[in-house]
Amino acid sequence: MTVSLKDLRNEALEPISYYMKAFDKTFSMDRHYHPYIELMYCQSGQFCFEVCEAGENGKRKFVTHKISAGEFIIIDAMIPHRIYETEGVIYNMEFKVRNKAEYNPFGVFDVLSINFSTFTRQGAWAQIAQEKNGYCILSDMENVEMCFRIFLEELFDGTNSFEQAFAAQGKLVMLLAEIGKCKMIGKPNGSLWYIRRTQEYINHHFSSDIRIDDIAEFVGVSKAYLQRIFHAYTGTTILKTLNSVRVERAKQMLMSSNLSVGQIGAQSGFRNSQHFIYEFKCSAGVTPSEYRKRQHYKTYNHETMNHESDPFVDE
């Protein structure tokens, strides 16, 4: 059954394929399409996203977007696309629209009354579902990365009980809600706008030698005012948030690369190894080297691929 976002009724979304992988620039894929709704998140690095759009006189054309860390894509069913020139970590999942009579793991929908069409018929998801060309590119303004990651980790653990099926559905709803928040961001709207612009700048530039002055200039307010409202809203400082993002990036690299601890610290935005190790231990409770050893037997490049897709051949 092929169902687009705007045509969702009371069906279930079954995660049919998903991965969390580190790529290098040698990776590329062919143009293709499939009957699944797809979410793709650039956790670090960047990649090129090529997608088919409706051109003039009804002719189709392919356009390319450069997707950077902290940005993500919602791709509707049957939209031809591909990615290439990838470098960094990508989260991905594809959903098959299923009738709940056919897909109801451990009877979870007998308890949970989830109607996904409510997401696509009101608020921000209504805008996403009605996108003219069947896809939407957004910036993570708050918690999409975290919700995406914990949902993937839930799927990696497997759905072997009612409790796991229940938890998975809850985390999916959280992810969809956080995505909707990002679409709602528009014109400046008080202090919250400045907070989210700050988080956007940090997510995109954490590996650079940035200063709070740089962030304040980007946001368009004074440094003192920005620091004050950021702490009032988040309960932490801009500097601590920046270091937290850098540590999370370092964790991913420790699991997915063979780079030295010093190289990872530098690529994560820390100016010296001592500062990197100090901030990492404050956050993770162990040094980067100890963290890498503990994660050694865990699979980071985890993927489950159980789907069908067709190559796109332009007529």
In which band, very low, low, confident or very high, does the pLDDT at 175 lie, cut at 50, 70 and 90? very high
pLDDT of residue 187: 45
Q: What is the pLDDT of residue 38?
A: 97
* pLDDT on residue 263: 93
Per-residue confidence (pLDDT) for residue 54, from 0 to 100? 83
Query: Does pLDDT of 266 surpass 80?
Result: yes
Say if residue 51's pLDDT is above 90.
yes
Alpha-carbon distance 96 to 16, whole Å? 6
Write the CA distances from 9 to 114, 115, 299, integer angstroms. 11, 7, 36
What is the arithmetic mean of pLDDT over 11-15?
Answer: 93
54: phi then psi, degrees, rounded to nearest 5: -80, 125
What would the pLDDT profile of 104-154 be if each residue is shown by its tens digit? Answer: 999 999 998 888 888 788 888 999 999 989 999 998 876 888 899 999 989
* Residue-wise pLDDT tens digits, 197-254: 888 888 888 988 899 999 999 988 999 999 998 988 888 999 999 999 899 889 888 8
Binned at pLDDT 50, 70 and 90, residue 3 comes out as confident
Residue with tokens 């996203």: 49
Q: Quick one: what percent of the chain has pLDDT higher than 90?
A: 49
**Rounded-to-integer distance, Cα 79 and Cα 65, Å:** 15
Rounded distance, CA 255 to CA 244, Å? 17
Q: Is the pLDDT of residue 300 over 80?
A: no
Predicted local confidence at residue 301, as pLDDT: 46
Closest CA to 268 of 290, 254, 247, 237: 247
pLDDT over 70, % of the chain: 90
Task: Average the pLDDT over each of 63-72, 167-176, 243-252, 301-310 and give the range with the smallest value.
Answer: 301-310
Is residue 297 pLDDT above 60, yes or no?
no
Check if the beta carbon of residue 291 is closer than 8 Å to that of residue 280: yes
Spatial contact of 169 and 103, defined as CB atoms under 8 Å apart? no
pTM for the model stands at 0.69
Return the pLDDT at 25. Answer: 77
The 3-state secondary structure of 236-291 reads CCHHHHHHHHHHHHHHHHHHHCCCCHHHHHHHCCCCCHHHHHHHHHHHHCCCHHHH
pLDDT band at 6, cuts 50/70/90? confident
Question: Is the pLDDT higher at 241 or at 191?
Answer: 241
Higher confidence at residue 289 or residue 89? 289
Cα separations (Å) of 308 from 34, 135, 166, 301, 304?
Answer: 6, 20, 27, 21, 13
Window from 26-35, 229-238, 291-300 with minimum mean pLDDT: 291-300
More confident residue, 124 or 256: 124
What is the per-residue pLDDT for 185?
55
**Does the structure show a pLDDT above 70 at 190?**
no
pLDDT for the residue 22: 83
Kindly report the average pLDDT of the chain as a whole number.
86
